[in-house]
A and B are shown apart, each in its own frame.
Chain A
Amino acid sequence: MYPIISSQELAPAINKLIVKAPLIARKREPGNFVILRAALTGERIPLTIVDSDPDKGTITLIVQSIGKTTMLINSMKAGDELIDVAGPLGEPTPVENHGTVVCIGGGVGTAVVYPIAKALSEAGNDVISIIGARNAELVILEEEMKAVSRELMITTDDGSAGRKGFVTDALKEILERPGTLSAGSGAVYAMGPMPMMRAVSDVTRDTGIRTWVSLNPIMMDGTGMCGACRVTVGDQLKFACVDGPEFDAHQINFDELIARNRTYADLEKKALETCKSLQT
């Protein structure tokens, strides 16, 4: 059992959880994730490890309620227990000094990019960050991102915070600054919804700027045993859970991945409805 030490609401339907998991806390590196199960009849879902404290034996997770399982997790309070947390999983992000890096977080993807931005900053990179959200209320980790970035840009779809528009608009602006990023120098790390990552990839494709995305395909075991998370990278078949989750954005077949992620859309809706009807 993995006790929840605290659960704090960061934004509507987005909670930050501190969970006791000593073995994972001591081993975790930026880019790693866990697979967890919240109930005995529950499914296994992947979540990025946002931070860890090896001394206290805790890991930090940020969860957005988008379906049955995440809603259940966000309804749990300090003292409740997650029944299974396995990790750290995936290949850690290779942290090197690229010079200038642009770290982009879309929505709850900010929680995925934050540990990487932090590690890149500690490795001496000049970090420029972009956080995108639908509106001001949904902007998360602003202070944390500011602390690890030389410059932080915020974009919202409705203009209620920062500049109005998408993260790609902010990225294009940065790319137009002379001498910031160019082919073979600097890098872009983008984490968020699949369409956002594809849009970022399209922006940098012709510039030759290396672009990394953290893929979020459907996962089950998270240890390379089923291939649910398979993805075409270049002309190769990769399992995101063991070979990734980060890949070179320009090599990824996003169309295929976005279609695969829709596999269970109707059943997910059904599960959520069943869950809601039980609550009322």
Chain B
Amino acid sequence: MKATANTKRSEKDPAGSREKSGKNKKSGVEKRPKIISLKPRERMQIPRNQPNEQDPAGRITNFCEVSNGFDVRKALAETERCLECNDPVCMQSCPVNIDIPSFIQLMYQGDYDGAIRKIRESNYLPAICGRVCPQETLCESVCIVGKKREPLAIGKMERFLADYEAEQGTFTPPPVADPKGQSVAVVGSGPGGLTVAAELAQMGYDVTIFEALHEAGGVLKYGIPEFRLPKKIVDEEVDRVKALGVKVETNVIIGRTLTIDELFDEMGYSAVYIGTGAGSPRFLNIPGENLSGVYSASELLTRVNLMKAYKFPEYDTPLKIGNKVVVLGGGDVAMDAVRTSKRIGPEQTTLLYRRSREEMPARIEEVHHAEEEGIEFHFLTSPVAIHGDENGWVKAIECQRMELGEPDERGRRRPVPVEGSNFIIETDTVVVAIGQTPNPIIQHTTPGLETTDWGTIKADEKGATSRPGIYAGGDITRGGATVIQAVADGKNASRAIDEYLESLREASETEAAPTASGAAQGR
């Protein structure tokens, strides 16, 4: 019975749950029945459950996941903390509007299958998002419990459900609608591409994902380290997308192997979604940046995550991390790079950031983990040159002290160099993690596809680009953003693609029977 209801929603009105929540908010008519038996005061007494974690001394010697997540007992104890708000602000703060109170209620009742199905109605990648989503700035940031105590561990509960399901082997693909007879090409198998593919496949479209690398997953595979997101988890999530009938073609570089126009003209796809991310590394353009021993974070992370260079020579890809590593940057990628470097075993691992701790864009949890692992942080420090030895290898990095000036256009205080403050840090490995820009291959090989001055593809709020039938989202339209934003863009675009393809179906029906009324309807 439940399954049928799900089908209906995804088939006819994928936006259903979202609109319903909007109605709820305005009218307040549909009151949520309270399920959890404890009184609100009692619920508030339960402290936030903490997941078991590998201790720092041990975990810096391996690449295993740091957080072990919740066990059943902790997961259930956490559900009891939910106040079951009538106006669930957590749900509204989730970029894909997961019905958080409902999944918690189902979980409380012991219906784990129902709970994970509930999540998957809104987000097809719960094992991933439960781990890497910045919940502290999204759903958990508005949780009412958090006003007085710590907010509910929503991410950890989501992760528990996904992991529990995988452990029990109870995953069954949600129902897929009857074939619509149209095919969609998805370019890129990162979180956005996987989401678009899963959504459209459930609507009955024939979907193929084209991936340039030899494994699917995008940044989930080559960027985010094993110790935050095990690659086995990513593979399982990709398999769940494939279980909906989605095909994944690896080693296909759209723009080189095939162009977007060939996807339409020769391969017969009716629509294309571009989710190719922002994978091209930025460099500082300072002297010495091309010395041996200087890596982009992308290169370091790809060698370790995708190519398993930390298992050299069992795996063939080499990596050289010296005794003193300096990582430049203050975002999640910098944090991943510095913690990855630490695990290769240098004596000293230092992170330099040109602003202060408060301005760091990285997740608080990860900064905390990095500190626990013995990473040294140098704030208000900016590199000016990298010096090499006679063999062209890095031997030191020259820096200058910064102080914070006036806020910039984004409201962050601009770092200003302190005159005469230059100093030298000895190092043999430098990792540049100051940001990524969009890969330009598709923009260069797709006539008529408009881009911004930043190299991102222009897309409207539905993901539609300047060319009909081509949609885009995630980092390729935003520059560097989050996994969940890519998922949200993918969901959004899949609705728009469905509408677009429906209009094509109607147009072709009209063509087949060109009556006056038909033509009118076709518009």
Interface residues of A (CB under 8 A from B): 23-24, 27, 37, 39, 41-44, 68-69, 83-89, 220-221, 223-228, 230-232, 237, 242, 253, 255-256, 259-260, 262-264, 267-268, 270-271, 274
Contacts and interface: CB of A to CB of B under 8 A. Distances in A.
A86 B212 contact: yes
Given A225-B302, A242-B441, 9 more contacts: A42-B315, A68-B316, A85-B251, A86-B252, A87-B253, A220-B303, A221-B212, A225-B281, A226-B302
Given A86-B251, A225-B439, A259 B292 contact: yes
B308 interface: yes
Q: Give me the 9 closest cross-chain CB pairs, A-B, nearest first.
A: A259-B392, A226-B299, A267-B318, A43-B316, A86-B251, A84-B214, A43-B317, A225-B279, A227-B296
B285 A237 contact: yes
Contacts of A85: 251
A87 B258 CA distance: 10
A260 B283 CA distance: 16
Contacts of B298: 225-227
B299 A220 contact: yes
Which of A223, A226, A230 has its CB near the most chain B CB atoms (within 10 A)?
A226
Interface in B91-147: none
Interface string B251-279: 11100111000000000000000000001
A132 B440 CA distance: 37
Nearest to B280: A224
B251 A84 contact: yes
B258 A23 contact: yes
B64 interface: no
Contact of B316 (A27, A41, A88, A242): A41
A85 B250 CA distance: 10
A44 B307 contact: yes
Contacts of A88: 256-257
Contacts of B317: 43-44, 220
Nearest to A69: B316
A220 B307 contact: yes
Contacts of A39: 316
Contacts of B440: 224, 242
A234 B292 CA distance: 19
A109 B252 CA distance: 26
Contacts of A41: 308, 314-316
B360 interface: no
B312 interface: yes
Interface string B419-463: 000000000000000000001110000000000000000000000
Contacts of A44: 214, 307, 317
Contacts of B289: 237
B252 A274 contact: no
Contact of A264 (B291, B307, B318, B391): B318
Given A24-B257, A226-B296, A259-B292, A221 B252 contact: no
Interface in B308-348: 308, 312-318, 320
Given A23-B258, A37-B214, A228 B299 contact: yes
A237 B437 CA distance: 15
Given A42-B316, A43-B316, A224 B441 contact: yes
Nearest to B258: A23
B290 interface: yes
Contact of B292 (A220, A231, A232, A260): A260
Given A23-B252, A260-B392, A262-B292, A267 B312 contact: yes
Contacts of A259: 291-292, 391-393
A230 B253 contact: no
A224 B302 contact: no
B391 A237 contact: no
A237 B14 CA distance: 46
B293 interface: yes
A173 to B, nearest CB: 34
Contacts of B318: 43, 264, 267-268, 271
B213 interface: yes
Contacts of B295: 228
B253 A223 contact: yes
B392 A43 contact: no
A224 B280 CA distance: 6
Contacts of B252: 23, 86
B280 A84 contact: no
Nearest to A275: B313
Contacts of A225: 222, 279-281, 298, 302, 439
A42 B320 CA distance: 17
Contact of B290 (A42, A87, A256, A270): A256
Contacts of A232: 290
B253 A237 contact: no
Contacts of A89: 253, 256
Contacts of B303: 220
Contacts of B308: 41
